[in-house]
Amino acid sequence: MSILEEVQPLFVSPELGDVGVPFADFPMKVSLTDSNVIVYGVPLDLTTSFGKGTREGPNSIRLTSAKQIETYLFEENTDLADKVKLYDFGDLKMPQLDSNCNLSSIISSIGSNITMTADHIKASSKIPILLGGEHTISYYQLKALADTKPLILHFDAHRDLKPEYGGMVMCHTTPFYHLINDGHIRSHDLVQIGIRQCDRQENQFALNKGVVTFDAWTIHDNIDKLLLYINEVTCNRVIYISFDIDVYDLSYVPCTGCPEPYGLDPFQVTKIIKSISSSALLIGMDMVEVAARSNDYREGTLAVQTLYRMLVNLQKAYL
């Protein structure tokens, strides 16, 4: 049994899941052995503090990627299937909840399985792509990849640098605080892109720790400053991308739980992705806080198309 086959029992196969199809359901199937990218979902929605629905994120992403079958990217003059060899593990099995359950213990248990999965994928020289699910889960994948000392490109409307929120230490508003505080990442290796909402304490923490910030207003006024910085800072670096869908303006994301105005648009995000140095080495990625409502596929589609562009533009990093 391979090291990856050891963790597969933790997952519900995509064919057996709610939508019954894997991510980017190519006509030519890729085996686990031949893949260079492994996608897996964590449909977690336990600590979200405003709108609910992130448990439907992995399903929404899979469904739109499988039903909107065209994977040719016009601006790249290439097809995703020619660049990336994807294998979809499916969704991590979620525990049964009741009124007496301890949320912190549940999240810790789920987190341990995420860390083990990402660690096994890394040990197999493949790239883990995590589909969420609330942003809490990014802590556990980054924990597994921390020994590579990655530069983290964090796309988000929010800093997620609170030490706790609503009595919860580990929740969707706290992952990057604890990644820094627990010593898993270096604060100056965290680049936050599109930020436009936080509290005073978070902002001061970021300033004190040297977190690099390009807020949404800076990007709107002078995106070239960011593009030049990203190209330079990612040169010959191991990188990780944590992408919260609410980095986009609320007009683009009708389902996510904490949408904010003054956000980025898809053309700006694509420019930022394309500015990453071709010498960068991608170690992992997540797409989180994607939600869904009945027959509304706009947000899932935007998540899919963003993922496609990240995978195609960074394919030199892992082939």
Domain boundaries, the chain: 3-317
Long-range CB contacts (within 8 A, 24+) of 214-220: 216/157, 216/262, 216/263, 216/264, 217/262, 219/193, 219/194, 219/264, 219/268, 220/262
DSSP state of 278: T
What's the rounded mean pLDDT across residues 299-316?
A: 90
* Rounded percentage of the chain residues whose pLDDT exceeds 70: 95
User: 63-104, pLDDT tens digit by residue?
Assistant: 999 887 788 899 999 998 888 999 999 999 998 866 677 888
Tell me what pLDDT residue 99 has: 66
CA distances from 254 to 24, 74, 234, 259, 289 (A): 23, 25, 32, 8, 12
CA–CA separation, 234 and 219 (whole Å): 18
Confidence at 275, pLDDT banded by 50, 70, 90? very high
Whole-model pTM: value is: 0.95
Tell me what pLDDT residue 1 has: 60
Question: Does 315 have pLDDT greater than 70?
Answer: no
Closest by Cα among 176, 154, 318, 177 to 238: 318
CA–CA separation, 290 and 233 (whole Å): 28
Dihedral sign (CA 120, 27, 241, 256): negative
Query: Regarding predicted confidence, which is higher, 133 or 130?
Result: 130
Q: Rounded to 10 degrees, what is the CA torsion of 154, 157, 161, 162?
A: -160
DSSP state of 261: S
The upper half-sphere exposure of residue 113, i.e. CA atoms within 13 Å in the direction of its Cβ, equals: 20
What's the rounded mean pLDDT across residues 310-318?
A: 74
Confidence at 319, pLDDT banded by 50, 70, 90? very low
CA–CA separation, 4 and 22 (whole Å): 17
Q: Any idea which residue has 């597969």 for tokens?
A: 8
Question: Which of 49-58, 97-106, 243-252, 254-263 has the highest average model confidence (pLDDT)?
Answer: 243-252
Question: Does 195 have pLDDT greater than 90?
Answer: yes
CA–CA separation, 152 and 61 (whole Å): 23
Question: Does 272 have pLDDT greater than 90?
Answer: yes
What's the rounded mean pLDDT across residues 19-40?
A: 87
Buried/exposed code over 255-273 (b: 16+ C-beta within 10 A; e: otherwise): bbbbbbeebbeeebbbbbb
The class of domain 3-317 in CATH terms is alpha beta
Question: Which of 12-21, 164-173, 272-281, 287-296 has the highest average model confidence (pLDDT)?
Answer: 272-281
Tell me what pLDDT residue 51 has: 67
Closest by Cα among 135, 160, 153, 165 to 291: 135
Query: Regarding predicted confidence, which is higher, 290 or 67?
Result: 290
Question: Are the C-beta atoms of 242 and 153 separated by less than 8 Å?
Answer: yes
